[in-house]
Amino acid sequence: MNEEKVTPTPSSRRPLIGITTRLDLDDNTFYLRRYYAEAVAAAGGTPVYVPLVKDTDALRSLAERLDGLLLSGSNSDLDPALYGEEPHRKLGHVVPERDAADLLLLEYSEEHRLPLLGICFGMQSLNVSRGGSLIQDLPAQLPGALKHEQGAPYDRASHTIRIEPESLLARLAGGSEARVNSTHHQAVQKVGDNLRVVASARDGVIEAVEDTRSDRFVLAVQWHPEVGWEQNDLSRAIFVAFVTAATVPRAVARGSE
Let me know if residue 95 belongs to a domain. Answer: yes
Condensed to tens digits (0 to 9), the pLDDT of residues 15-71 reads: 999 999 999 988 899 999 999 999 999 999 999 999 999 999 999 999 999 999 999
Let me know if residue 124 belongs to a domain. Answer: yes
**Is the Cβ–Cβ distance between 135 and 92 less than 8 Å?**
no
Residue 121's Cα: distance from chain center in Å? 7
What's residue 252's pLDDT? 41
Instruction: Return d(Cα 12, Cα 100) in angstroms, integer.
Output: 34
Task: Tell me whether residue 224 is one of the annotated catalytic residues.
Answer: yes
Q: Which of 97, 207, 210, 226 is catalytic?
A: 226
Q: Which residue has the higher pLDDT, 56 or 147?
A: 56
Counting DSSP H helices and E strands in the chain, the numbers are 8, 13
pTM for the full predicted model: 0.91
Of all residues in the chain, the percent with pLDDT exceeding 70 is 92
Instruction: Return d(Cα 75, Cα 251) in angstroms, integer.
Output: 35
Let me know if residue 59 belongs to a domain. Answer: yes
Single-letter amino acid code for the residue at 201:
A
Residue range 115-134: mean pLDDT, rounded? 98
Q: Which of 120, 159, 207, 210 is catalytic?
A: 120
Let me know if residue 39 belongs to a domain. Answer: yes
Instruction: Return d(Cα 83, Cα 21) in angstroms, integer.
Output: 22
For residue 72, the SS3 value is coil
Let me know if residue 1 belongs to a domain. Answer: no
CATH number at residue 38: 3.40.50.880
Task: Tell me whether residue 226 is one of the annotated catalytic residues.
Answer: yes
Q: Residues 6 or more apart from 49 whose CB is under 8 A from it?
A: 19, 20, 21, 30, 32, 37
Residue numbers of the domain that contains 181: 16-253
Residues in the chain: 257
- Whether omega before 153 lies within 30 degrees of 0, making that bond cis, reads yes
Total of domains in the chain: 1
Let me know if residue 220 belongs to a domain. Answer: yes
What's residue 7's pLDDT? 52
Let me know if residue 8 belongs to a domain. Answer: no
What's residue 67's pLDDT? 97
Condensed to tens digits (0 to 9), the pLDDT of residues 206-234 reads: 999 999 999 999 999 999 999 989 889 99
**Is the Cβ–Cβ distance between 19 and 37 less than 8 Å?**
yes
Q: Which of 148, 184, 185, 224 is catalytic?
A: 224
Condensed to tens digits (0 to 9), the pLDDT of residues 86-122 reads: 999 999 999 999 999 999 999 999 999 999 999 999 9
180 pLDDT exceeds 90?
yes
Let me know if residue 131 belongs to a domain. Answer: yes
